[in-house]
Amino acid sequence: QVQLVESGGGLVQPGGSLRLSCAASGFTFSSYDMSWYRQAPGKERELVATIFSAGNRNYPDSVKGRFTISRDNAENTIYLQMNSLKPEDTAVYYCYAARWEVRYWGQGTQVTVSS
């Protein structure tokens, strides 16, 4: 049974940091490209960061320099270190796994940036 379980969300003040985790099981984790997406109320889901199976990373301009994605293939886990958080980073953050035509989503974890 495939599972992607996110954790680490919460309430943080602007300028603060959070670290999200996504624990994967039920598939060959090291072979999959892993990503974080987010969705704010009333907005479309958007890509936040990708780490490919080869280890290279990709970020949109909106988070580049502030967010860092990493993976631990021994622990079947990916992380998202988020620094210098802004109110516009408030969203539900989702873990995503992809390999060829196969796609898996986690259930999401809420991140709220507010004073």
**Ramachandran category for residue 48: left, alpha or beta (phi over 0 → left; psi -120 to 50 → alpha):** alpha
Contact 29, 73 (CB under 8 A): yes
Q: How confident is the model at residue 104 (pLDDT cuts 50, 70, 90)?
A: very high
State what percent of residues in the chain have pLDDT above 90: 100
Q: How confident is the model at residue 57 (pLDDT cuts 50, 70, 90)?
A: very high
Neighbours of 6 (CB within 10 A): 21
Contact 97, 36 (CB under 8 A): no
Q: How confident is the model at residue 9 (pLDDT cuts 50, 70, 90)?
A: very high
- Sequence-distant (6+) residues with CB within 8 A of 51 are 33, 34, 35, 57, 69, 70, 71, 78
As a whole number of angstroms, the distance between CA 47 and CA 50 comes to 8
Mean pLDDT of 16-28: 98
Nearest alpha carbon to residue 87 among 5, 14, 4: 14
Residue with tokens 């989702």: 94
Q: How far is CA 49 from the centre of its chain?
A: 7
What digits encode the pLDDT tens for the residues 34-44? Answer: 999 999 999 99
**pLDDT at position 34, please?**
98
